[in-house]
């Protein structure tokens, strides 16, 4: 249903990436009067997302996982190989989801397909009003906020959710301070077919230029690639034809999946990071890349964005149940506090891993090698790290909790 000039809602979600779509669906399914504003889908750039166990639970609760599952591959094991040439190189580490009672750490799916399926679900959802155009501006007031759309229409909502990406216009207009940084790297992404089966194993080589990761796709003989390397090297790889790129990947993978063939779109992703001083402003809450941007390492970015949306759903539904204003300062401040620790922890972990590989310093190599060796040798530590990586146990949102 299209929003008209006079429509008013409890919440308006701006942004139709996976985080915004899932947040809007979760609010609508909870009976919250919700508008979804946005016109753009994910570009076909060969990127995939490893949806960790908590995110899969969230999508199941939204009733969309059944449509996504046929296009996703389970990640039953994670293998980490230190290929940095360090003197302190530990043996390969192996992590199995079964050790923490899971069939898989998560499921890998093409990003563009995930967004398309979520958008299809949004179009079919009741209690979710679609405005398939961009937002042109927001005017917060005491009782609600007015959202101006690019086609000239307006709508009012007590809370605006900014899920409008790493360059978020809503965040900029609200004057929220950001910290941005970049790395001297690029990430080449694509989809590959290979001769040997992946056996539901995600393999990550830690090289001196950054992680080189092959993640399973459905069918057993296809994987997605995220090859993080120096900026100039990444550009050279991106300019290769498909056959030459496949040969380069096969060499870097040490041939463990046999011969390779490029079997999908390709992309070159900048390695950058972003954090916000606060994820809220007057009548505004930021989620996903509007609140935090990570380089494509460790499958943390979108999973964190989905947790943002699930936590915001909890905050809004609690407020409405208690007769409170979901866009009030008190509700938004509590939401911001609840997300600060999770975002900081994930961002710091990704940043430290990447910088430790780039450092090429013996003490740093020794610490990284000792940490990986400890996780391999000490069962309780390994299981604790695996559980925390899949879903933080503190303050997990309602729709992501284990039954």
Residues 6+ apart with CB under 8 A from 288: 15, 17, 18, 19, 20, 163, 165, 302, 305, 308, 309
Give me the CATH number covering residue 41.
3.50.50.60
The answer to whether residue 224 is domain-embedded is no
The answer to whether residue 304 is domain-embedded is yes
CB contact at 8 A, 265 and 191: yes
Residues 6+ apart with CB under 8 A from 319: 325, 326, 328, 331
Instruction: Check residue 290 and give its pLDDT.
Output: 97
354 burial class (0-12, 13-18, 19+ CB within 10 angstroms)?
Answer: buried
Instruction: Check residue 2 and give its pLDDT.
Output: 45
The answer to whether residue 105 is domain-embedded is yes
Instruction: Check residue 8 and give its pLDDT.
Output: 93
Instruction: Check residue 123 and give its pLDDT.
Output: 94
Instruction: Check residue 358 and give its pLDDT.
Output: 79
Instruction: Check residue 383 and give its pLDDT.
Output: 77
The angle that helices 53-61 and 18-29 make with each other, rounded to 10 degrees, is 50
Cα-Cα-Cα-Cα dihedral sign, residues 358, 361, 362, 363: negative
The answer to whether residue 85 is domain-embedded is yes
Instruction: Check residue 201 and give its pLDDT.
Output: 97
Full DSSP string of 168-230 = -HHHHHHT--EEEEEEEEEEEEEEEEESS--TTEEEEEEETTEEEEEEEETTTTEEEEEEEEE
Instruction: Check residue 1 and give its pLDDT.
Output: 42
The contacts found for 93-100 with CB under 8 angstroms, 24 or more apart, are 93/372, 93/373, 93/375, 93/376, 94/376, 95/375, 95/382, 95/386, 97/386, 99/382, 99/383, 99/386, 100/383, 100/386, 100/387, 100/390
The answer to whether residue 197 is domain-embedded is no
Number of H helices, E strands in the chain: 11, 19
Domain count for the chain, please give it: 1
Q: What tens digit of pLDDT does each residue of 16-46 get?
A: 999 999 999 999 999 999 999 998 777 778 8
Full DSSP string of 245-303 = HHHHHHHHTTTTT-SEEEEEEEEEEEEEEEEES-SEETTEEE-GGGTEE--S-TT-HHH
Residues of the chain with pLDDT under 70: 1-6, 369, 373, 375, 377, 381, 391-394
Instruction: Check residue 3 and give its pLDDT.
Output: 46
Closest by CA to 95, choosing from 73, 77, 76, 75, is 77
Domain of 124 in residue numbering reads as 8-180+273-394
The answer to whether residue 286 is domain-embedded is yes
Query: How many Å apart are CA 332 and CA 285, to the nearest integer?
Result: 7
* Tokens coding 309: 């949306």
Instruction: Check residue 4 and give its pLDDT.
Output: 45
The answer to whether residue 342 is domain-embedded is yes
Instruction: Check residue 401 and give its pLDDT.
Output: 86
The answer to whether residue 212 is domain-embedded is no
């Amino acid at each position: 249903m299209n929003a008209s000039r006079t429509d008013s809602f409890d919440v308006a979600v701006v942004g139709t990436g996976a985080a915004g779509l899932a947040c809007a669906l979760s609010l609508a399914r909870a009976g919250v009067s919700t508008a979804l504003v946005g016109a753009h889908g994910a570009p076909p750039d060969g990127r995939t997302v490893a949806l960790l166990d908590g995110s899969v639970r969230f999508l199941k609760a939204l009733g969309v996982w059944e449509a996504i599952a046929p296009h996703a591959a389970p990640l039953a094991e994670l293998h980490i190989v230190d290929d940095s040439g360090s003197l302190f190189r530990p043996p390969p580490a192996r992590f199995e989801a079964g050790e923490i009672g899971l069939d898989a750490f998560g499921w890998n799916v093409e990003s563009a397909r995930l967004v398309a399926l979520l958008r299809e679900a949004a179009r079919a959802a009741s209690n979710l009003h679609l405005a398939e155009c961009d937002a042109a501006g927001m005017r917060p007031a005491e009782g609600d906020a007015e959202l101006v759309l690019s086609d000239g229409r307006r709508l009012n909502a007590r809370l605006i959710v900014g899920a409008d990406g790493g360059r978020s216009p809503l965040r900029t207009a609200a004057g929220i301070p950001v910290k941005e940084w970049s790395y001297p790297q690029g990430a080449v992404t694509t989809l590959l077919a290979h001769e040997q089966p992946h056996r539901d194993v995600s393999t990550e080589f830690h090289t001196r230029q950054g992680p080189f990761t092959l993640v399973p796709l459905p069918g057993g003989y296809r994987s997605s690639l995220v090859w993080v390397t120096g900026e100039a090297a990444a550009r050279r790889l991106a300019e290769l034809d498909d056959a030459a790129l496949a040969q380069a990947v096969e060499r870097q993978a040490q041939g463990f999946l046999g011969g390779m063939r490029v079997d999908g779109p390709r992309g070159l992703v900048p390695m950058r990071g972003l954090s916000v001083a606060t994820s809220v402003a007057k009548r505004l809450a930021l989620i996903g890349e509007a609140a935090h941007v990570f380089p494509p390492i460790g499958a943390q970015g979108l999973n964190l964005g989905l947790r943002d949306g699930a936590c915001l759903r909890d905050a809004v539904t609690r407020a409405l149940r208690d007769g409170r204003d979901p866009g009030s300062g008190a509700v938004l401040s509590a939401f911001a506090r609840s997300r600060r620790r999770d975002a900081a922890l994930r961002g710091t972990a990704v940043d430290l891993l990447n910088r430790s590989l780039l450092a090429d310093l013996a003490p740093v190599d020794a610490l990284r090698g000792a940490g990986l060796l400890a996780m391999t040798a000490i069962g309780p530590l390994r299981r604790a790290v695996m559980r925390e990586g899949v879903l933080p146990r503190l303050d997990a949102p309602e729709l992501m909790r284990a039954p």
